[in-house]
């Protein structure tokens, strides 16, 4: 422990010297003060927000870029041109200098106008160079393990709907407008099911391909093979959280039927609406089942049509003994188990809506999520909202599966 405190003291001393008159190697560091680097980042942010391309490019080394071959900074500026930004700023968190070079860690904070009530925060790794007494940004990339941002995959095109903003890369304007139309139908459908206690609009990101989707999520593409869309956001997020993002896998989405495309967008929009009441206490059978219930609500589709995998199992006499476990929803697991998990969750929510009513279904969802911890959450909500127990509800669900799918 004493040794560890000694190392910490040395590091703290280096940090203080960096902010003062000399770096840890004893060299003058007047140009390496965090304030000097923060200033160039502030100029970079202001130029981006005011659409001042020359000022933005002035934050990179003077020799960067050649005619016909724009620098990374120029490409970034052009990729972002259409994105409706309300704010953009950097927060420098560390700075390490070696001669006239430096590396820095920073947080990028940005908001999309009309959608984000709080900034999206993402970690960045910066490289800087000192030229004639001034610092310039030579590279600005995602930090290790940080997700990519859409503009890093190409020029962002924008389609606006009445209730939606669609941002895409490598997609036609017509296709992005079609996404906006689907999202615009999803929003009122979700409000009709869930209620009005959510912002009532969505942000949809459409990358060029499955690989692009994986980059935005910071995960291997294999994890999302066959998954049409996912929603990212802060579980239990408050009204001051950034807007959720619905991220589409265009490779899987384009092969869906018209109904399938609408169901997927409505399902993901439901996750946006329910986010503030979704917590660690919420089992996936409820969050995914409710989203599917909202997605298929009013479609006229029967249980046999929506739950074919589970239906085959029930017909063969293999009725699940318990509600789906969270592990059954793993994207990398068995496809049959995954399908049955989604279908089983949908049937559980459909049972509640049929037997207790849609309002009670919404109250049950909120009661589970508001419990904040998993233990006892479902049991307490079943007792208080539906007047039953987990054992009785499970038996009712199993009988419902037999009646609807057998």
Tell me the pLDDT tens digit for each residue of 88-137: 999 999 999 999 999 999 999 999 999 999 999 999 999 999 999 999 99
pLDDT at 27: 37
Q: Is the pLDDT of residue 62 over 90?
A: no
What does the block give as tokens for 155?
Answer: 């020029």
> Rounded to an integer, what distance in angstroms lies between the CA atom of residue 186 and that of residue 267?
8
Confidence of residue 19 (pLDDT cuts 50, 70, 90): very low
User: Closest Cα partner for 136 from 102, 108, 94?
Assistant: 102
pLDDT band of residue 65 (cuts 50, 70, 90) is low
Tell me the mean pLDDT in the region 354-372. 97
pLDDT band with cut points at 50, 70 and 90 for residue 233: confident
CA 301 distance to own-chain centroid: 29
Report CA dihedral (195, 294, 398, 309) to the nearest 10 degrees.
-170
379/16 Cα distance (integer angstroms) = 54
Q: Which domains does the chain have, with CATH numbers?
A: 17-146 (3.10.450.50), 147-277 (3.30.2010.30), 279-406 (no CATH)
Task: Tell me if the pTM is above 0.75.
Answer: yes
The dihedral region occupied by 200, where left means phi > 0, alpha psi between -120 and 50, and beta the remainder, is left
From the list 34, 44, 51, 33, the residue with the least C-alpha distance to 138 is 44
**Distance of alpha carbon 166 from alpha carbon 204, whole angstroms:** 5
**Percent above pLDDT 90 for the chain:** 81
Contacts of 285 (CB under 8 A, 6+ apart): 323, 324, 325, 341, 344, 345, 348
Neighbouring C-beta atoms of residue 172, cutoff 10 Å: 10
Is residue 260 pLDDT above 50, yes or no?
A: yes
């Amino acid at each position: 422990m004493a040794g560890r405190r000694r190392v910490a003291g040395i590091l703290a001393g280096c940090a203080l010297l960096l902010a003062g008159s000399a770096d840890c190697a004893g060299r003058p560091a007047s140009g390496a003060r965090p304030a000097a680097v923060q200033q160039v980042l502030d100029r970079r942010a202001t130029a981006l927000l005011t659409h001042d391309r020359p000022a933005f490019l002035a934050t990179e080394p003077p020799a960067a870029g050649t005619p016909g071959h724009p620098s990374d900074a120029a490409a970034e500026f052009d990729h972002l041109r259409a994105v409706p930004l309300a704010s953009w700023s950097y927060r420098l968190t560390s700075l390490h200098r070696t001669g006239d070079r430096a590396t820095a860690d920073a947080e990028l904070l940005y908001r999309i106008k009309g959608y984000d009530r709080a900034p999206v925060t993402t970690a960045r790794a910066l490289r800087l160079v000192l030229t004639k007494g001034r610092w310039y940004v030579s590279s600005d990339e995602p930090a290790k393990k940080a997700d990519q941002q859409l503009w890093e995959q190409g020029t962002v095109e924008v389609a606006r709907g009445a209730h939606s903003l669609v941002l895409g890369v490598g997609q036609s304007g017509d296709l992005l407008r079609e996404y906006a139309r689907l999202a615009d139908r999803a929003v009122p459908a979700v409000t009709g099911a869930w209620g009005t206690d959510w912002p009532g609009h969505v942000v949809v990101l459409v990358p060029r391909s499955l690989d692009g989707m994986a980059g935005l999520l910071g995960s291997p593409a294999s994890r999302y093979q066959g998954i049409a869309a996912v929603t990212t956001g802060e579980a239990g997020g408050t009204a001051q959280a950034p807007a959720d993002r619905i991220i589409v896998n265009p490779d899987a989405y384009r092969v869906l039927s018209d109904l399938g495309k609408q169901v997927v967008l409505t399902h993901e929009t439901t996750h946006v609406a329910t986010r503030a009441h979704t917590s660690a206490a919420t089992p996936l059978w409820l969050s995914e089942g409710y989203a599917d219930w909202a997605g298929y609500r009013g479609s006229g589709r029967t249980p046999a049509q929506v739950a074919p995998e589970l239906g085959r199992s029930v017909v063969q006499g293999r009725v699940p003994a318990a509600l789906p476990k969270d592990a059954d929803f793993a994207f990398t697991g068995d496809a049959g188990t995954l399908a049955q998990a989604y279908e089983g969750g949908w049937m559980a929510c459909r049972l509640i809506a049929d037997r207790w009513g849609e309002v009670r279904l919404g109250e049950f969802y909120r009661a589970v999520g508001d419990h904040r911890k998993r233990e006892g959450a479902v049991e307490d909500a079943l007792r208080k909202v539906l007047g039953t127990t987990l054992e009785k509800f499970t038996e009712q669900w199993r009988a419902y599966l037999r009646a609807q799918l057998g």
